Chain A
């Protein structure tokens, strides 16, 4: 019986195609990205080995660090907004009628492509004909912002559609987790005289802290990789004010043909993502230990 299920040939046949795909298209490229970072290369001609020059330039590159900072800001905003989603989920999960329908409505933007969202919100942000400034006008705001064209606020403006896009997704996760909290626990707390707020903070939230940790991870890593929406909406502008790591990499490589330097940025992005993943998991772990 065992021999059929440990047939080496079948195992190879079943796993190798997929394994080859991820090795060739994911693992080898990240190694190559680090390697190409050592090259002076325009993408078409010969590569010239220049040692660590690109990486030294990268460390001193102000644009790279401001892009990294913007990515970090997005990560911080995203993590903070999780609290809003959590609050909404707590309300939704407290036996509210129509919570199913509401949850689905919240999710709709998440199904759209970032390109469609970017194009739509460029129209919403349009200073003269857009929805947002007209609405502000109704409320008596006389000099509404010019949103995407203002380097001071462009990053905050971009964050609005990001919330719009992902809110439903996180609410969905929290809602599912909250619904998994056993009813008996909550009933017992009610009998002991706990009020709804106490039940929320002392019982429900600690019980879903594992899921909360996962969402922090998703929000942080997702933000560091954020690209499509920003690329379409602003292209990193005006004047680099909304440049993030991925868009800077893309610009250097595919617009300015600095493929060597672009690879170095790409490798930097990988390192920062992996470090942040590890750091977030460590931070959320210790927080967990304090709570229990």
Chain B
């Protein structure tokens, strides 16, 4: 059977070869068109946003949405920055994000170290608690959290955000760290124990420095999540001085329903830091996104 088959296939292959490569070229061209088209769909809305952020209302309402800004209105940006409190929101986003990221990464490292390197009976169940927490929708905790913060005077206090971000990002962070710790050789730590090192020195001077690559990955993922977080800020924070960019721009944009230029400028300002980070750290971000999902 198989002999007959190969005999049939071989001659037809030789005659088909030039035709096939021609078809292949068309096929590949088509595929590139598809992939390129999809790339345009993903990127064009942002270019469009940049364009209308530089337009006057006359251009927005009187001309085609696809026209280029005739005389770039950089004034839209100064207007957004000065009249919209954006500077304050921006500053809040930065320091709240960074505080929560540092807290999360340190606490998650301590837990992962204790679970993977130290010997205790309850390490399995404790780790389980962290991993199961990943499944819990944060919206189900919102009302009780609101009451809790209210009765401890933490509403309208950025501490409520930092604590919530940390708690809800711990599970994913631990999951990512766990994968790294498990593949990581224990020999150096064991040698340090033999030399009489204390646990703290081992953790802070050996383990933590050695896990810097995965720490930066988790830090970046945490940073993106915290920077973009909306519902906690919207629920717990009421005064303008503590609002972060997401809620701030949402409120600000709501007031300027018809001023597309100012709205666009505000959105661009909120997007640029993330895009800049992506420009310089894209490999780390890609890695982190993949790690976070596959482990989950």
Which residues on A are within 8 Å of B, measured CB to CB?
Answer: 1-2, 4-8, 10-11, 14-15, 17-19, 21-30, 32-33, 36, 43, 88, 91-92, 96, 102-116, 119-121, 123-124, 129-131, 134, 164, 167-169, 172-173, 176-177, 193, 211, 214-215, 218, 221, 224-225, 227-228, 231-232, 245-246, 249-250, 253-254, 259, 262-263, 266-267, 269-270, 273-274, 277
Contacts and interface: CB of A to CB of B under 8 A. Distances in A.
A259 B147 CA distance: 10
Contacts of A15: 110-111, 114-115, 126
Contacts, number: 268
Contacts of B38: 88, 102, 106, 167
A32 B149 CA distance: 14
A60 to B, nearest CB: 21
Interface stretch (B69-77, B134-142, B208-216): B134-142
30 contacts: A1-B190, A6-B120, A8-B120, A14-B111, A14-B113, A14-B114, A15-B110, A21-B170, A27-B136, A29-B140, A32-B144, A33-B144, A88-B34, A96-B32, A105-B39, A109-B46, A113-B227, A113-B246, A124-B48, A129-B61, A134-B65, A176-B290, A232-B230, A246-B139, A249-B139, A249-B142, A262-B143, A263-B144, A269-B137, A273-B137
Given A116-B249, A131-B65, A168-B42, A30 B141 contact: yes
Contact of B293 (A25, A134, A214, A221): A214
Interface of B: 9, 31-32, 34-36, 38-39, 41-43, 45-46, 48-49, 52, 60-61, 64-66, 107-108, 110-111, 113-115, 117-120, 126, 129-130, 133, 135-148, 163-164, 166-168, 170-171, 190, 193-194, 197-200, 203, 224, 227-231, 235, 245-247, 249-250, 253, 260, 263-264, 267, 270-271, 274-275, 278, 282, 285-286, 289-290, 293-294, 296
A284 B102 CA distance: 37
Contacts of A104: 278, 282, 286
A168 B145 CA distance: 33
Nearest to B52: A123
Nearest to B109: A14
Contacts of B9: 193
Contacts of B144: 28-30, 32-33, 36, 263
Nearest to A176: B290
Given A25-B164, A172-B289, A218-B296, A250 B110 contact: no
B39 A102 contact: yes
Contacts of B230: 113-115, 228, 231-232
A108 B135 contact: no
A117 to B, nearest CB: 9
A225 B136 CA distance: 10
A26 B136 contact: yes
A176 to B, nearest CB: 5
Nearest to A246: B139
